[in-house]
């Protein structure tokens, strides 16, 4: 988990770096850089949260994440 956690944090830093580089450009390049930077940051944070929820990342290797496969128990209709 520690190595994976560091990887996710480094990815978030890389996303921030992309955002910083995009600020120095204009037009479509700036817009694409912002979108890409935000996407990288959000994906890395969601990956970190998913790895923590999986209990050390053992289940993550198979592509399983509790956010997408578990659902709330059905509520009885009245």
Q: What is the pLDDT of residue 72?
A: 47
Cα dihedral angle (2, 4, 7, 11), rounded to 10 degrees? -130
Asked whether residue 62 is domain-assigned, the answer is: no
Q: What is the pLDDT of residue 76?
A: 57
Asked whether residue 70 is domain-assigned, the answer is: no
The H-assigned helical ranges of the chain are 2-23, 28-53, 66-69
Asked whether residue 63 is domain-assigned, the answer is: no
The count of structural domains within the chain is 1
Asked whether residue 36 is domain-assigned, the answer is: yes
Q: What is the pLDDT of residue 62?
A: 55
User: Which range marks the domain in which residue 48 is found?
Assistant: 2-57
Q: With contact defined as beta carbons under 8 Å apart, do 70 and 27 qualify?
A: no
Q: What is the pLDDT of residue 48?
A: 82
Over the stretch 23-78, which tens digit does the pLDDT of each residue have?
999 999 999 999 999 999 999 888 888 777 765 545 445 555 555 554 445 455 55
Asked whether residue 42 is domain-assigned, the answer is: yes
Residue found under tokens 């990342």: 57
Asked whether residue 21 is domain-assigned, the answer is: yes
């Amino acid at each position: 988990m520690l190595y994976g956690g560091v990887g996710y944090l480094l990815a978030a830093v890389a996303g921030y770096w992309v955002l910083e580089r995009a600020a120095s450009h204009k037009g479509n390049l700036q817009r694409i850089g912002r979108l890409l930077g935000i996407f990288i940051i959000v994906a890395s944070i969601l990956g970190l949260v998913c790895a923590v929820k999986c209990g050390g990342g053992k289940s993550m290797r198979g592509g399983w994440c509790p956010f997408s496969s578990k659902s709330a128990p059905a509520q009885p209709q009245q």
